[in-house]
Amino acid sequence: MDGDGIEHILVRFPQHDRGFLIPILQEVQEHYGFLDPERVDEVAAFTGASASEVFGVASFYAQFRFTRPGRHQVKVCLGTACHVRGGTRILVLLQRQLKIKDGETTPGGAFSLERVACFGCCALAPVVVVDKDVHGRITSTKARNLLRRYGGS
């Protein structure tokens, strides 16, 4: 899908309306996985802001990425309940297993690892979300086996 324009997204929004900047960026990222500089330029032109303003807004919010994520996104919850029930250990285990730090992507592009402040599944802490699947009550053993389901070793 790379390389094609983002008109198909822009047509659904009014032009030069700053109030739709964040929704547009969200749709662009949803479609392409991340925000690359050319697409940011297009969004800037469409909304009537400068590219630096758009970058300024996008970089403020944790949701926006500027590099391509892995094919599977592993998100470790580090909310309060997950913290007191050992979420940090799970993060450390996954870091070791994937040999990357949070915020990074494995060299082959298979997995990226993120920490998230809270998914709101505190009652089933600790929680790990892979792509759209929520996994609760994660133990060290479960964390080890988790990545295998997504083609990891």
Partner 1 sequence: MTVSLAEQRAQAVAQRDAEARNGRTQVLVGAATCGQAAGALGTMAAFEAAQANRGLALTVRKAGCFGPCYLEPLVLVRKPGAPAVLYGNVRQHAVHGIVERWIQGDDPCADLAVGVLDEAFGGAAGARLDGIPPLSAHPMLGGPRLVLRNCGLIDPADFGHYLARDGYVGFERALRLAPQDVIDAVRVAGLRGRGGAGFPTATKWQICRDQPPGPRYLICNADEGDPGAFMNRSLIEGDPHALLEGMLIAGYALGVAQGLIYIRAEYPLAVRRLKAAIEQLREAGLLGPRIQGSDFSFELQIREGAGAFVCGEETALIASIEGERGMPRPKPPFPAVAGLWGRPTIINNVETLATVPLVLRVGGEAYAAFGSERSKGTKTFALAGKVKHTGLIEVPLGTSLRRIVFDVGGGILDDRAVKAVQTGGPSGGCVPASLLDTPVDYEALVSAGTIMGSGGLIVMDEDSCMVDVAQFFLSFTEKESCGKCPPCRVGTKQMLTILERITAGQGRLDDLERLEAIAVTVQTGSLCGLGQSAPSPVLTTLRYFRDEYLAHIVEHRCPAGVCPALVTYEVNDLCNGCSLCARMCPVDAITGERGKPYVIDDKACIRCGACADACNYDAIVVH
User: What gap in Å lies between CA 77 and CA 115, rounded to an integer?
Assistant: 6
State which of residues 28, 46, 72, 79 lies at the interface with partner 1 (CB under 8 A). 79
Closest Cα to residue 76, out of 149, 29, 134? 134
Q: Which of residues 24-43 bind partner 1 (CB under 8 A)?
A: 25-26
Instruction: Pick between residue 4 and residue 30 the one whose CB is nearest to partner 1.
Output: 30
CB of 106 to partner 1, least distance (A): 16
Q: Residue 78, interface with partner 1 (CB under 8 A)? A: yes
The helix-helix angle for 37-47 and 51-60 (nearest 10°) equals: 110
Give the C-alpha distances (Å, rounded to integers) separating 18 from 38, 100, 118, 127, 153.
Answer: 19, 37, 29, 36, 45
Q: Which of residues 110-149 bind partner 1 (CB under 8 A)?
A: 116-125, 127, 132-137, 139-141, 144
Q: Residue 67, interface with partner 1 (CB under 8 A)? A: no
Contact status, residue 77 vs residue 126, Cβ threshold 8 Å: yes
CB of 123 to partner 1, least distance (A): 3
User: What gap in Å lies between CA 25 and CA 40, rounded to an integer?
Assistant: 8
| Strands 111-116, 128-130: pairing kind | unpaired
CB of 103 to partner 1, least distance (A): 12
| Contacts to partner 1 by CB under 8 A | 18-23, 25-26, 47, 49, 56-57, 60-64, 78-81, 83-86, 89, 92-93, 96-97, 116-125, 127, 132-137, 139-141, 144
